[in-house]
Amino acid sequence: MLHHVLLASPPDSEAASRTYYADLLGLTEIAKPPALAARGGCWFRGPGYELHLGIEDDFRPARKAHPAIRVGDLDALAERLTAAGRAIRIDDELPGFRRFYADDPHGNRLEFVQPVEPDWPLGDGVIVRRARAADVGKIIVLLRDDPLGRDRETDAADAAGYAEAFAEIERDPNQLLAVVEDDGRIVGTCQLTFVAGLSRRGTLRMIIEAVRVAADQRGRGLGARLIGWAIERARERGAGLVQLTTDKSRVDAHRFYERLGFVASHEGMKLQLSR
């Protein structure tokens, strides 16, 4: 498994690196070990990899060899880069992926790729697809559309935390935030998380969370179809267990999941931490 990619950068370029890799790309800067910090440069972490910028006195940008970074929303990243005045070069010659090239502030070539995913049909013209940044506000409306959600969420779609959380989700290959769309309207959502573990002989498990169907769309069977779709995604990934939690007060939800084959086999506990 790849641990990190090292790119060279010219002397005294750390500020430009931070602006590009942290502010624009959304990577997290990590502290260099004390023994290496004096050499300059800076390190960043993305989902499942690290990208290190090392200082090179006789610097020349890498124009051929380059890292290819997988992203969850290629269009949103392209918009951020172009809005910041960074040029992108679109290239659709890689089967199964959309991609573009860009240069970091030092001239190093970077590639950004996103797998081409289908819109999954649920019947009656309804589809499930991966959520995009533009969907976040509509997802929050759905999350607030019940008594518990109204207390947990804010009605401000741009509230601090939502955009950052979505960016983290879309960068993580083990997360799938999905929306149900009917004739262009977002009418449902759920989040799938794949978790590897040693228990059950190393069984991969999938967790279903944040399941919502718009109040005026309930009774159409969308919830059952959405959960069925989620279970198929678990099978595709080779998961051996699908699990979820539902609040004790949601008696109707308990019956709903039991009808779909789920068993209340455990007593769940949560600890709310102050932030």
221-236: average pLDDT: 97
For the whole model, what pTM was predicted?
A: 0.71
Cα distances (angstroms) measured from residue 26 to each of 3, 19, 51, 163: 18, 10, 12, 11
More confident residue, 64 or 249: 64
Give me the domain span that covers residue 24.
4-115
Rounded CA-CA distance 237/233 in Å is: 6
CATH code (residue 45) = 3.10.180.10
Residue pair 227/126 in contact by the 8 Å Cβ criterion: no
10-20: average pLDDT: 97
Q: Is the pLDDT of residue 30 over 90?
A: yes
- Hey, what amino acid is at 13? S
- What is the pLDDT confidence band of residue 73, given thresholds at 50, 70 and 90? confident
Tell whether 254 and 179 lie within a shared domain.
yes
Tell whether 104 and 128 lie within a shared domain.
no
**Residue ending a domain, choose from 115, 138, 163:** 115
User: Over the stretch 149-206, which tens digit does the pLDDT of each residue have?
Assistant: 666 677 665 576 888 888 888 878 899 999 999 999 999 999 999 999 999 999 999 9
More confident residue, 62 or 249: 62
**Residue ending a domain, choose from 86, 115, 144:** 115
Tell whether 150 and 110 lie within a shared domain.
no
Rounded CA-CA distance 187/143 in Å is: 11
pLDDT at 174: 93
Tell whether 72 and 8 lie within a shared domain.
yes
pLDDT at 173: 85
pLDDT at 92: 83
User: Please, what is the average pLDDT of the chain?
Assistant: 92
Tell whether 63 and 27 lie within a shared domain.
yes
Tell whether 109 and 128 lie within a shared domain.
no
Rounded CA-CA distance 233/83 in Å is: 35
Total domain count for the chain? 2
User: Over the stretch 106-133, which tens digit does the pLDDT of each residue have?
Assistant: 999 999 999 888 899 999 999 999 998 8
Tell whether 147 and 252 lie within a shared domain.
yes
Q: Is the pLDDT of residue 272 over 90?
A: no
pLDDT at 164: 82
User: Over the stretch 74-116, which tens digit does the pLDDT of each residue have?
Assistant: 998 999 999 999 999 999 888 889 999 999 999 999 999 998 8
Tell whether 111 and 127 lie within a shared domain.
no
pLDDT at 115: 86
How many Cβ atoms sit within 10 Å of the Cβ of residue 271?
A: 4
Judge whether 110 lies within some domain: yes
